[in-house]
Homo-oligomer: A and B are copies of this chain.
């Protein structure tokens, strides 16, 4: 993959497609509404997390075919989280990835069940990752923690609590919240390839730093898109945070400082990968792409 944004989009599309193919194959032709809703929820995403897994594994010479189930697993968890977050009792969003949210296309019960089944499917897929059993178990434990009350669910709970809190969140609080809500899964994805390869701890740590910085930069970019973005491109409602009086990186820092902070985080992310030399250029370019994206 070369450095140009078009090539990255092609790689994103390829990796995401491979991950979706794994999910499709696991669903084994089922045609009931919940299975259809699961497919629908997984379709049309950017596949960022799948790309992190596959490109991270390639750093260690692990072919996409071997890491694809782990890439599919993280996309399944991410998709489940969006389906549940969009529920009326949660963020109450009707539009996702340019289509009606699952609870609008089907109904709330189907959305709850499709999300639940996607989470279960993720752990089934992890068992298909081609690596030693010990590494598979590191993936399982890591994903369970990243998805759970100490990670993604905890962050989402803090986010919902903040909406009815008397005081808007501080920068520290938002950083912590986002480290759980979006950061934990991104970090898991960034390090999964190294885990599959049973790489030495220094290399896992480097990818961990990359993942932490990338996750935060990604969230800042998301907040910027909520202010500046075009719903036609983002495929979801924009301006929701400001309308809800919600503290975001943009409301707390201002637009230009938020942009500068995201760029600085991406630099740190890229620097962390310097020990990989030229091999890391794809992940470095991906980090730059994340803060320049329009959706």
Which A residues are within 8 Å of any B CB, using their own CB?
27, 30, 32-35, 38, 80, 84, 87, 89-90, 107-110, 112-113, 115-117, 119-124, 126-127, 133-134, 136-137, 140-141, 143-145, 147-150, 153-154, 156-158, 160-161
In the assembly, how many copies of this chain are there? 2
Give the nearest-CB partner of A124 in chain B. B144
Residues from chain B with Cβ under 8 Å of A148 in the complex: 117, 120-121, 124
Residues from chain B with Cβ under 8 Å of A84 in the complex: 112-113, 116
Residues from chain B with Cβ under 8 Å of A116 in the complex: 80, 84, 115-116, 119, 147, 153
Interface secondary structure of A, over-half rule: helix
**Bound CA span A145–B33, Å:** 18
Residues from chain B with Cβ under 8 Å of A144 in the complex: 120-124, 127
Partner of A33, one of B140, B141, B150, B157: B157
Task: Find out whether the CB atom of B123 lies under 8 angstroms from the CB atom of A35.
Answer: no
- How many Å from the CB of A74 to the closest CB on chain B? 13
Tell whether A157 pairs with B32 under 8 Å between CB atoms, given A112-B84, A127-B141. yes
Residues from chain B with Cβ under 8 Å of A115 in the complex: 116
